[in-house]
Structure 1
Amino acid sequence: MYYAPHNEYINREAKIVLAGITPGWTQMISAYEEVLKGIEMGKDTEIILQNTKKAAGFSGPIRKNLTEMLDHCGLPEALGIENSLSLFQENSHLLHTTSIIKYPVFISGKNYTGHHPAIDQSPLLSRYAYQEFAEELKHIETQALVIPLGVTVERVCRKLLEKEAAPVHSFLFGFPHPSGANGHRLKQFHQNKEEMRNLIEDWRGREFKGTCD
């Protein structure tokens, strides 16, 4: 496990929370580049961390795969925005990106994928997934829609729900991990697409009702 700065900032007003397994190498590099740029420009620490989150959160090719699937789920319509890519741009105030394991983890020089070891078999990884991540969700002050990316993250989120560790949020289960290495992502997405669209509509109805109340 290595330190990277882009998961330090929490957008407490986010309506959408995208949760991956752990930051990868690409995100780690993007985060440090953004921090160095901010320091050179003399920016405030809070602004640097906020900009780092925007720059590094699901950066690289994974962002294209992710936003295209979110578009097909009807997320832009639920939020009243043009497209999901804008969540990383002009509508970033609606988005919080994070990982169930806050910092980058590498196994044999490669990005950790949630296996070998399994999260539950590692005391360190379990602490981050079931304690640190759960605590982070408590800082989100809205009735957010949490989107676990892939089965490993979904499994952790389901356990948190069982423990009532994230009671105010809704969860969009069934969303595949958007990595290009996940060759089954499109098949899994189309299998779950209609159910996910319905879940998003249900969340929007509850979120709107909560706002009115």
Structure 2
Amino acid sequence: MLPKDTMLSKEDLLVDELLMERNGTLEMYYAPHNEYINPSARVIIVGITPGWTQMRIAIQVAVKGLIVGLSDEEVCRGAKEAARFAGTMRNNLINMLDTLDLHQQLNIASCEELFKENQGLLHTTSLLRFPVFFKKNNYSGTHPNLISSPYLKEFALVSLREELSIMKHALIIPLGKTAESVLQLLVGEDKLDAKACLWGFPHPSGANGHRHKQFADHQDHMKRIVKDLF
């Protein structure tokens, strides 16, 4: 049983009991938050994979939920709401979405509400639904390249085909070029409407030093997509 009142560490969580798959230097571990799907969402944000921070927060919240007797769905939903895009990445994301006037189209004061009182409008997910690590570090989608890895590519496509088939009439926001390239594959399969996707949106990680330029280069185009879809 994991401790509920102490900060969980990699030694607690990157263990065989939570290991789902190992492929060379890649390891996939279980975390509960992407088990919850919100089919009524109007905005879907697609990242690459949950990172260590998201995994730790999700499991910490899930442990507390199980202790107080919440249902499995309540546990997974609570874990998702606490963990998704935690930290400065969430602030960067909110600022960019507000700049595109998404909050106005949703009739809310700011996209910050998507992570608070209006979470019912939002669904977040990842190409790789469960946390993937490369040599015990967060997997970024590049080493190895996700599209070039048959193992990762197939996992992503199968997961997204299933998940996005449940979601209707929503704006889909792929975070960065790797997420965008996988969604383009689904467009090519006629599994996804290209007009529903916000192409050109940069990954909001602070480690992405090109995000400001990429956002500025695509800002007008993305504003039109947001306005036309809603």
1:180 maps to 206
Which residue of 54, 57, 72 maps to 2:99? Answer: 72
Deviations 1:154-208 (A, max 9, x none): 011111111111249700001000000001101111111111000000101xxxx
Contact 1:143 1:169 (C-alpha < 8 Å) held by counterparts: no
In structure 2, distance between residues paired with 1:30 and 1:40: 16
1:63 maps to 90
Shift of 1:123: 2.5
Shift of 1:139: 1.1
Which residue of 177, 193, 203 maps to 2:219? Answer: 193
1:108 maps to 135
Residue 170, structure 1, aligned to residue 196, structure 2 = yes
For 1:176, give the aligned amino acid: P
2:8 maps to none
For 2:166, give the aligned amino acid: H
Structure 1: runs of 5 or more not aligned = 205-213
Which residue of 176, 180, 183 maps to 1:157? Answer: 183
Contact 1:143 1:168 (C-alpha < 8 Å) held by counterparts: no
SS of alignment partner, residue 19 of structure 1: strand
SS of alignment partner, residue 52 of structure 1: helix
1:209 maps to none
SS of alignment partner, residue 97 of structure 1: strand
Alignment RMSD, CA only? 1.2
Deviations 1:64-98 (A, max 9, x none): 01111000011000100110111011100000000
Structure 2: runs of 5 or more not aligned = 1-27
1:122 maps to 149
Which residue of 57, 62, 66 maps to 1:39? Answer: 66
State the TM-score, normalizing by the size of structure 2: 0.85
In structure 2, distance between residues paired with 1:166 and 1:128: 17
Contact 1:62 1:178 (C-alpha < 8 Å) held by counterparts: yes
Which of the two has higher C-alpha Rg? 2
Contact 2:48 2:126 (C-alpha < 8 Å) held by counterparts: yes
Aligned length: 203
2:29 maps to 2
Shift of 1:112: 0.8
For 2:110, give the aligned amino acid: N
Report which structure shows greater RCO (CA 8 Å, sep ≥6).
Answer: 1
